[in-house]
Every structure is written in C-alpha cells, then in structure tokens.
Copies of this chain bind each other. A is one copy, B any other.
Amino acid sequence: MHFVARVTTEGGPDFVATHERIAVFDNDGTLWTEQPYYNQLAFALDRVKELAPAHPEWQEQQPFKGVLAGDPNAVAQSGEPGLIALLAATHMGNTTDEFAAIVSRWIGSARHPRFERPYTELVYQPMLELIGYLRASGFKIFIVSGGGVEFMRPWSERVYGVPPENVVGSRARVKYELQNGKPVLQRLAAVDLVDDKAGKPVGIHQVIGRRPIAAFGNSDGDFEMLEWTTSGDGARFGLIVHHTDAEREFAYDRDAHVGRLSRALDEASKRGWVVADMKKDWAVVFPFQK
C-alpha cells in the first residue's frame, strides 16, 4: 500500500510516529460475514430457544413465538419494538462475566446457516492479512463496530489478534454492585452507546481518544467513521469492502436490509476511499478456502 509507505517513511513529508498510527475496522461485513442476518442476531435467536423453557409466555408472544417456530423473519416483522424486546430478553439482566461466558459457549458451538461452519471461521482472509500487514508496519488495530462490544470481546483476540481493550462497540449500561458479597458489573436494560453511524466517531473518541489515520468499513453505518478518519490532516486512508460475490459469499449493497451500502459507495471516489470489490479483487474470501 502506497499509504503505508508514506506514513512509515522516516523523514518523509507524511511520516506518522508509531504511537499515532491508529487503524479502525468495522466488524460486521468488514471482518466477518453479516448475511443473511447479523451473527449477533443469530446468537439472540439461539438464546431465545435456550431460555424458552423458563418463559412459557413466549409461545404466544412476538417476536419470541416466531423465533421458536423457526421463522427468522419474525423479528424483522415485529420491527424495532420486537428487536428491543429480543435484545432485552437475550442480552440484559446478567453480569458481564456471565454474559461473556454465554457468548463464549455460543461462539464455540454455533454454525452459520449457509456455510455450516463456526462464525469465527467466516472471517475474511484478505482483511486478516491486511491487519497483519498494518500491525507489522507499527499500526495499532482497533475494531469499531455497531455490534455489541461484549459480544465481540470474548473472541476478538483469538480470531483477529485484537485484544478486548482495542474493541469499541455498542454497549449496555452496567452498574457496579455487590451480589452475595461479591463485586460484579450488572448489565442493565439500557443502552449506553450505539456505536454506529455518527456514534462511531463518538465511540472512537471515548475509547481511543485520537483520530485514526486509516478506516475500513463496508456500509453506510461506517460513513461517519470514514469521514472522520479521512478528513484529518496528513496522509489518510479509507477503504470500503463491496460485497459482490454471491457465489463465494454474498452480493448486496443499496437494497440490503443488513449492511446497506449506498451513500458511502456514491461518495467513495470523490472522497478518495478505495472500494474493494470482493469478487474481482479477492483471490480468497475465507481462510478455509486457501
């Protein structure tokens, strides 16, 4: 990458000191697959099934009824209130340690509906190589995702080499308290940050505290992160993963319900953002295809 050469050439006009080489990556659709629906939604659906025996009322209540009947569209049809009810029932009311254990157990056993592999194998080989290349060039790698931060942290280090402290995401409010004399962080039924769209620069500021010099995304949810990153002074880099390969992965952009890409695609050229065409540019999509 010409950009990396520019920022790492000591004495050059665009040189950036190691400690300021911050690169941010969206997760869903940028580092791992997000179709036919967010993997975190698959987690929520499975969690409903797991919790159902203790909730007989769900047999008659949407979106739970639809989930239990094996209808993945039930949630979509119940709209935002349904999604919030689903999130509250499956993501809240436990401690951070309990939730991390639930996520770890799920991610170790769940399989993607189409590829029938663990979700953590459905990561993009070219992006893993890109992360490795940037890391070797002195970059600090952060994930900045609309997905839940506590949904990613239990496995981000193992899968991407990105430790929990380098993961920024949407989050629930938590409360420090003693339970049976033991301190815990209890997850409350309240959203603390929606780390998407204009929330991404906010999340970056809260957790990282400086403006990245490189950003990688795939949807309009990444627009502001790309804009914030690439409008700074000096050499900047923005890249959009364009999902164009229905055969090896999925093909979607403007009309997608998940990972909609329209405005960012329209403005990419004007703003100097690179568009990676999955079908044309990627020799391999997933590591298991190597």
Contact = CB atoms under 8 A, between A and B. Distances in A.
Contacts of A206: 149, 171, 174, 192, 206-207
A205 B174 contact: yes
Contact of A183 (B149, B157, B167, B224): B224
Which of A164, A165, A174: most chain B Cβ within 10 A?
A: A165
A164 B202 contact: no
Interface string A110-126: 00000000000000000
Given A153-B209, A174-B202, A231 B163 contact: no
A149 B168 CA distance: 17
A205 B183 contact: no
A196 to B, nearest CB: 12
Which of A153, A205, A210: most chain B Cβ within 10 A?
A: A205
B201 A185 contact: yes
A150 B206 CA distance: 9
Contact of A164 (B192, B209, B231): B209
A176 B163 contact: no
Contact of A185 (B96, B157, B183, B205): B205
Given A176-B228, A227-B183, A231-B182, A165 B202 contact: no
A248 to B, nearest CB: 33
A205 B177 CA distance: 13
A205 B96 CA distance: 9
Interface in A203-218: 205-210
A201 B228 contact: no
Copies of chain A in the complex: 2
A224 B163 contact: no
Contacts of A227: 183
Interface in A138-196: 140, 142, 149-150, 153, 157, 163-167, 171, 174-177, 182-183, 185, 192
Contacts of A208: 164-165
A83 interface: no
A92 interface: no
A171 to B, nearest CB: 7
Contact of A19 (B157, B167, B228): B157
Given A206-B206, A206-B207, A207-B206, A176 B198 contact: yes
Contacts of A171: 206
A91 to B, nearest CB: 15
A163 B22 CA distance: 12
Interface of A: 19, 22, 96, 140, 142, 149-150, 153, 157, 163-167, 171, 174-177, 182-183, 185, 192, 198-199, 201-202, 205-210, 224, 227-228, 231
Give 5 nearest A-B pairs by CB, closest first. Answer: A164-B209, A176-B198, A176-B201, A165-B208, A153-B209
